[in-house]
Amino acid sequence: MVGLSTAAPGAGAADSASAATCQSWGAQPPNAEDRGTYLTGVTATSDCNGWAVGYYNGMANQTLIEHWDGTSWTIQPAPGAGNFDGALYGAAAISSTSAWAAGNDASGRLSPEQTLVAHCR
């Protein structure tokens, strides 16, 4: 499970006020039970806003971004999805509507891995 124990540094009064309407971070992402899914990075701006990134294994590793809106997790469009091999390993939230994730991607079986930086919205 993904968890949050304290408010993010610099969280303002608006984040604290909205936290009262959020559910516990104990809720699991939609694919938490899938053995081919790996969440490797998490970031949050408040109890009501968080991002988890990683990858899942289809035909090959595919990038994965999930967003917590205070009540539920949703899978977000992920750059590199559909390519032969890709994964996201870390994330940094900037606001409730913006985060950045970093990982790697290879566009084909013989391609070298390249750095992948994704803007999550």
Domain ranges of the chain: 26-120
Predicted pLDDT of residue 81: 57
* Residue 40, φ and ψ in degrees, nearest 5: -115, -10
Q: Distance (Å, rounded) from C-alpha 93 to C-alpha 110? A: 33
Query: What's the average model confidence in pLDDT over 19-33?
Result: 63
Predicted pLDDT of residue 106: 74
> pLDDT at residue 56 above 90?
no
> pLDDT at residue 89 above 90?
yes
> pLDDT at residue 30 above 70?
no
Quick one: which H or E segment has residue 10?
none
Predicted pLDDT of residue 53: 93
Which one is predicted more confidently, 9 or 53? 53
Which sign does the torsion angle of CA 4, 7, 9, 13 carry? positive
What pTM was estimated for this model as a whole? 0.73
Above pLDDT 90, what percent of the chain?
21
Predicted pLDDT of residue 1: 37
- Quick: pLDDT tens for 66-80: 998 888 888 888 876
Predicted pLDDT of residue 118: 87
